[in-house]
Amino acid sequence: MAKGKSRSYTHRATVPPLYQSAVFDFARVEELAAQIKSGPAFPPSVDDLTYIYSRGGNPTQRKLELDLAALEGADDGLVFASGMAAITAIALSFCEAGCEIAVGYPVYGDTYAVFADLLPRFGVNTTFVDTSDISEVRRALARSPRMLFCETPANPSLAVTDLKAAARACKRCDCLLVVDNTFATPVNQNPLALGADLVVHSLTKFIGGHSDLVGGAVMGAKELITRLRLTQFITGAILDPFAAWLVLRSLKTLELRVQRQNENALALAKLLEKYAKVARVYYPGLASSPYHRIAKKQMRGFGGIVSFELKGGLRKAKRFVNRLKGARIAVSLGSTETLIQIPALITHRIVPEGVQESLGIPRDLVRVAVGIEPTAELLAHFRQALKEL
C-alpha cells in the first residue's frame, strides 16, 4: 500500500475529491520498481493503489473515465487534453503507413486537417465520403480501409449517418467504426449501442458545458482503450486533474442542459423556417430535413446546433451575425450561452476554400450553438436581427 494513502477514494464526500498531484509515493523502493517493471499503471478503478505518475493515470481522471464510459455504455474510457488530442491518438494507434482510412464529410476543420494533411505525410491514404449516403459508405469500404471515422450529426451541416447500417457494413470488412458524438452528446445518442467501435467527444463542448475547460474523451471496448492508453502515455496528451474535476461537476447537469438546448434549437429552427429571408435551415429535428427520419430513429433528441443560410449570401450572413444581440460571436459550442459564427471563415477556415463547398460547407452558412436561455428571449433576439436585415 502506498504510504499515507487511504483505501477510501471519496470518504463519502458528495463531491468527488480533486487529486491535484503529479506523482504518488510508495513505502519501499522495491514496490515502485516492481510497478514500473510491470509497465504503466492503468488502474481499473479509482480505489486501486497502483497510481505512479499522472501521465499514466490519476484518481480524478479515472473517476471521469468510468463515468463517461457508463454514459456511453462502454467497457472503458480515456480522457485527453482536447478532442483533437483524442482523435489524433486514435489515428496514431490504429493507422500505419500504407493503410487506407475513410472519413465522413463534413467534419470539424481541424479534424479535416489531421486526416487530409497530417496523416498523408506518414503514408496513410484518406478518402472523404458522404456517410449520410450508405451506398457511398459501401463503395468506400470496398477499398478495405482500416477505419471509418464520422461525425453525426456532422459539423456544421448537421448531416446524419445511419449508424446501424454503417456498423453492419464495417463489420463485414473488419473496419473500425469511430464516431464523433460531440454534437449529439450521450443524452441524445449512444453510437456504441448502434454498432460503433469507438465513440469520441470534445469535452470542451456540451459535456463540459460552461466554456471554462478544454478536454477530450474516447470510449469503447477495453482492448481498444488499452491500446489508446499506451499511445497516450507515450505522447502525454493527458487531461489535467483539475479539468477532469470540472467535467465531473458538469456531468451533474448534463441532461438538464442538453434537454433545454434541444428545446431551444428546435424552436429556433422552426422560427427560421418561417422567414422568407432565410434560404435554408439545417436541423435534423425539422420534418423538412432529409435526415429527420434516421435522426428520429437513432436519436432521443436532435441537439443544440442549428445552421442556416440567408438570402443575399456571405454579405448578409456577416451583417446578421454582427447585428444579432443575445448571442456571442465565438468558436466552440455546447455552453450555457448562445454562440454564433460563420464556419467557412472561422472553425473550418483550414479547409481550402475550393474544397469547402464540396464537403458541405457553404461560404455563407451560419452556425448557432444555442444556450439555455429562456426560449422566448432567444427567439426575440433572432426576430429582431432578421427584421433589421
* C-alpha span between 105 and 126 (Å, rounded): 12
Check if the beta carbon of residue 303 is closer than 8 Å to that of residue 185. Answer: yes
Tell me the whole-structure pTM to 2 decimals: 0.95
Q: What stretches in the chain show pLDDT beneath 70?
A: 1-10, 39-42
* C-alpha span between 282 and 290 (Å, rounded): 9
* C-alpha span between 202 and 82 (Å, rounded): 6
The helix/strand count (H/E) of the chain reads as 14, 12
* C-alpha span between 234 and 247 (Å, rounded): 24
Check if the beta carbon of residue 54 is closer than 8 Å to that of residue 64. Answer: no
The verdict on whether 117 is a catalytic residue reads no
Return the pLDDT at 42. 64
Return the pLDDT at 6. 44
Compute how many other C-beta atoms are within 10 angstroms of the C-beta atom of residue 209.
26
Count of all residues that appear for the chain in the document: 389
Check if the beta carbon of residue 312 is closer than 8 Å to that of residue 322. Answer: no
Cell 430535413, residue located: 289
Which one of the listed residues 108, 112, 282, 291 is annotated catalytic? 108
Domains with residue ranges and CATH for the chain: 29-251 (3.40.640.10), 254-388 (3.90.1150.10)
Check if the beta carbon of residue 9 is closer than 8 Å to that of residue 33. Answer: no
Provide the H-helix boundaries in 153-214: 163-172, 185-188
* C-alpha span between 242 and 213 (Å, rounded): 9
Check if the beta carbon of residue 179 is closer than 8 Å to that of residue 197. Answer: no
The verdict on whether 37 is a catalytic residue reads no
Return the pLDDT at 37. 77
Which one of the listed residues 63, 130, 162, 205 is annotated catalytic? 205
Return the pLDDT at 237. 96
The verdict on whether 143 is a catalytic residue reads no
* C-alpha span between 128 and 352 (Å, rounded): 14
Which one of the listed residues 5, 53, 55, 249 is annotated catalytic? 55
Which one of the listed residues 76, 110, 162, 180 is annotated catalytic? 180
Give rounded-to-5 percent helix, strand, coil for the chain: 40, 15, 45
Residues 6+ apart with CB under 8 A from 108: 151, 155, 180, 347, 348
* C-alpha span between 281 and 288 (Å, rounded): 9
